[in-house]
Amino acid sequence: MQNHQGSDGAVLRAGGSWLPATMETFDRTLGMEAEVVNTREVTQHADENPSSAGGRREFAPNRRAFAGGLLAAIVVAGTVGGAAGSVATASVFNRGAPGSTVSAAPPIAARNPLIADKSLTQIYKQVSPSVVSIQTAASVASARQSGPPTPRVPGFSIPEVPEIMPRGEGSGFIVDGEGHILTNYHVVDGADRLAVVLADGTRISARVVGTAPASDLALLKAEIPAGKAGLATLGDSDEVEPGDLAVAIGNPFGFDHTITAGIISAVGRDFGSAAGRPMRGLLQTDAAINPGNSGGPVLNAAGEVVGIATAIESPVRANVGVGFAVPINTAKRLLSQLKAGQTVQPAWLGIAGIALTPDIRGELGLPESVGQGVAIAEVTPESPAARAGLRGGARDEGNGSAAPRGGDVIVAVDGRPVKSVPDVSGYLDGKAPGDTITVAIWRDGRRQDVQVTLGSWPAALRG
């Protein structure tokens, strides 16, 4: 599959793109799709030269290009949804000196003619007071550390520059009376200063409380004056079905408190990566999501938050009706840890595997009783799986066989039957480093139980 890099920093997939989060030069791209290599799932990194990427695309003038690429694939671990590996849809604006107040723009609605205007109006009035614009800035020192030194030319002086430079903008929403605000991690990643702008234009300093990079989530806190904002109601993303109403409120291209509407197009989607790990279980919507919507709420017909806008798929560098959101239940599950100031690390098992098919079952000589499961192709050295004694197999490259011979076959985890790799990784979503799970395997002609204590996703794999 051919991937391209745009000069604005967007990662252009075959027919799609991640939108830029900031205006600075990055050392790597963080949002590439998962690829199955040789029918098993492994992790691979590949740098590529943007100048030879087969075409350049821009969302705004004078954007700097990404300097490298990250090709993310899957090593089984706890995946928590997440986004674009910290690169998705936050908009890029250089809007004057920090401290300037964003002027309110009239709400823009892209309405579905099948949806009654009154219902959308009610949702907007109910939720928009809880939605904020998030402005980020980076110190000049930080920017200089990531870029080349400024050349000195005899006879010319270097103009004075502000100590803090505007960096980017995204969205968020207030979740409680203490001033906690949920947003995407990629919106605030690398920022030295943060401010939130309320619906009435009030601008307030904010700080990061906790983060979950692998889920593309961050929790901020701001001292919000009483009566100045509303609170968002968190719904249940497990109840969302394709065809349900989907409403997004955010700040696309700096147009604050914009409402767009559509439907939930699909659930359980896999798209991109965050912190070097694939993102799974995302909500897909055709409600317009554009740069600046990142971190904003995706709502159901009751006005409850069911997702957090994070990424789009687009061949034309703008919304084409394929957007993605982190399920709100992911955020709800992690909220107490985020409020406690933690950097949430996902659980890690440390294997690569392949789902059983009739052909693979036959090649491995498995009995009819083992009709489904995941054959372990590789166990990462010194991983939790390795310490527990799980065994990986080896493929016969000579005859092109996909079956990893001689390894364990996972048939259940904590008593839950396993049919595919996502069954394992999806179950680990709800686990934390240090938790112990029971992995039922088929080995040497019989079923055995192995206790595995999960670890933290290694820094070397976070991208």
Contact 409, 418 (CB under 8 A): no
Which residues are paired to 284 by β-bridges? 266, 324
CA distances from 268 to 20, 109, 313 (A): 24, 27, 16
Comparing CA positions, the residue from 99, 97, 100 lying closest to residue 161 is 97
Q: Got the DSSP string for 412-462?
A: EETTEE--SHHHHHHHHTT--TT-EEEEEEEETTEEEEEEEE-EEPPGGG-
Q: Contact 54/4 with Cβ under 8 angstroms?
A: yes
User: pLDDT at position 125, please?
Assistant: 96
User: Residue 283: phi, psi to the nearest 5?
Assistant: -85, 140
Per-range mean pLDDT, top range of 14-18, 150-154, 425-429: 425-429
pLDDT in tens, 124-144: 999 999 999 999 988 755 554
Give me the pLDDT at residue 145, please. Answer: 52
Query: Which tokens go with 167?
Result: 């960096």
Rounded CA-CA distance 418/424 in Å is: 7
DSSP state of 417: E
Collapse the DSSP code of 388 into the 3-class scheme (helix H, G, I; strand E, B; otherwise coil) and give the result: helix
Cα 441 from Cα 196, distance rounded (Å): 50
pLDDT at 100 over 60: no
pLDDT band at 5 (very low <50, low <70, confident <90, very high): very low
pLDDT at 325: 96
What percentage of the chain carries pLDDT values higher than 70?
65
Average pLDDT, the chain: 74
> CA–CA separation, 367 vs 218, rounded Å?
47
**What does residue 134 show for φ and ψ, rounded to 5 degrees?**
-110, 120
Q: pLDDT band for position 20 (50/70/90)? A: very low
What pLDDT sits at residue 426? 84
> Which residue in 210, 203, 206 sits closest to 340, CA to CA?
210
Q: Identify the pLDDT of residue 112.
A: 52
User: Please, what sign has the CA dihedral across residues 145, 290, 208, 460?
Assistant: negative
| Contact predicate 377/245, CB 8 Å | no
Annotated catalytic residue, options 7, 86, 91, 186: 186
pLDDT in tens, 369-389: 898 999 999 999 999 999 999
Q: What average pLDDT does range 68-82 have in this prediction? A: 32
Query: Does the active-site annotation cover 186?
Result: yes
Q: pLDDT band for position 70 (50/70/90)?
A: very low
- Structure confidence at residue 163 as a pLDDT band (50, 70, 90): low
Q: Specify whether 257 is catalytic.
A: no
Query: Which positions ≥6 away from 321 have C-beta within 8 Å?
Result: 262, 265, 286, 288
Give dist(CA 72, CA 463) in Å, integer: 9
pTM of the model: 0.68
Given a cut of 60, whether residue 50 has pLDDT beyond it is no
Q: How confident is the model at residue 169 (pLDDT cuts 50, 70, 90)?
A: confident
The predicted pLDDT at position 166 comes to 58
**CATH number assigned to the domain covering 86-147+161-342:** 2.40.10.120
Active-site entry in 294, 314, 383, 425: 294
Catalytic residue at 294? yes
What CATH number was assigned to the domain covering residues 347-461?
A: 2.30.42.10
CA 225/CA 302 separation, integer angstroms = 27
The pLDDT of 330-355, averaged and rounded, is 93
Domain locations along the chain = 86-147+161-342, 347-461
Per-residue pLDDT reduced to its tens digit, 255-270 = 999 999 999 999 998 8
**Whole-angstrom Cα distance, residue 379 to residue 376?**
7
Average pLDDT over residues 295-304: 96
Catalytic member of 8, 189, 216, 286: 216
What is the structure's pLDDT at 75? 33
Domains 86-147+161-342 and 347-461 in one fold: no
